[in-house]
Structures are given as C-alpha cells and as structure tokens.
A = this chain, B = another copy of it.
Amino acid sequence: MDLMPGPDERVSPEQLEAWRAFDRAHSHVARQLEADLTELHRLPLAWYEVLARLAEAEGHRLRMSQLADKVMLSPSGLTRLVDRMISEGLVRRVPAEKDGRGFYAALADEGQRRLDEAAETHERGVRDYMVERFTGDELAQLTSYLRRIIE
C-alpha cells in the first residue's frame, strides 16, 4: 500500500503561498490593531473584542459559550480572559437565573467606558490597515471569499 500522496494530493507552490499570504496579512492587521489599542488605551485586542461583542448583544450580556464562539477562544481560554476582565471591573458575572446553569458575562459600566474610549482607535485601524485598500465591490468579494473558508 502506497502511503505517499498522489500528485493531486499535493498543494502547489501557489496554493501554499495563498495560505502564507493569508497568515501574514492577518498577522499584519492584528498586530497593528493590538499595538494601537495597547499603547493608546491599555486594552489588548482580545479584551476589545469581548467588550464590543457584549455591547452589541441584547441586554449587554452573553452566555460564556456564545461569547467564546464570537471571539474564537476555547472555553478555558475565555474563562481566564473574562476572569481578568472581571477583576479589572470591565465585565460582571451574572447568574443565568432561569435554568440555574452557568452564567452570563455582562458589560460593566467601566467596560462600556473603556470600549467607548478605544472604539475610534479600533475603527481607524480596521480602516487604515485593511478596508481602505479596497473598493466597496472588492471588499464585498473579499468578504465572500473569507466566508467560504468559514463555512
């Protein structure tokens, strides 16, 4: 039995380069957003994302499992992150009263304030480091390509 992949199993140099360009471009944007938010607002990018997702949610709160999905962290990674944000007063822990299982993470007033303070920096970064390099049509096409990867 031949365990070597056939020619159709290999990725071409162009295909490998597509992944590397993807990885590099993502790192390029994320590192600059992280640097701006950390330097100007002492707010790591992951913290910003948690605050932004809570602010958008109904009642400004989300179950930990919903939040983990939105910010793409493992349950244990999110628990560690949220524990630190609770200890800094940015997030509150709210028991899920109806069924007694688990709890919600809720946006605290101080979290809303820090989010408001940092939002312009985040938007400027998203614009400068990514979206302004494309026309509206190009950005729509890029987004549709990216969604195809997620599906």
Contact = CB atoms under 8 A, between A and B. Distances in A.
A72 B29 contact: no
Interface residues of A, number: 45
A136 B145 CA distance: 13
Interface in A20-50: 21-31
A143 interface: yes
A57 interface: no
A143 B12 CA distance: 14
Please state the number of chain copies in the assembly.
2
A23 B72 contact: yes
A11 B146 contact: no
Contact of A19 (B9, B29, B150): B29
A88 interface: no
Interface string A116-143: 0000100110110111011010111111
Interface in A61-81: 72
A146 to B, nearest CB: 4
Which 4 pairs from chain A and chain B are nearest by CB? A26-B26, A21-B146, A25-B149, A25-B146
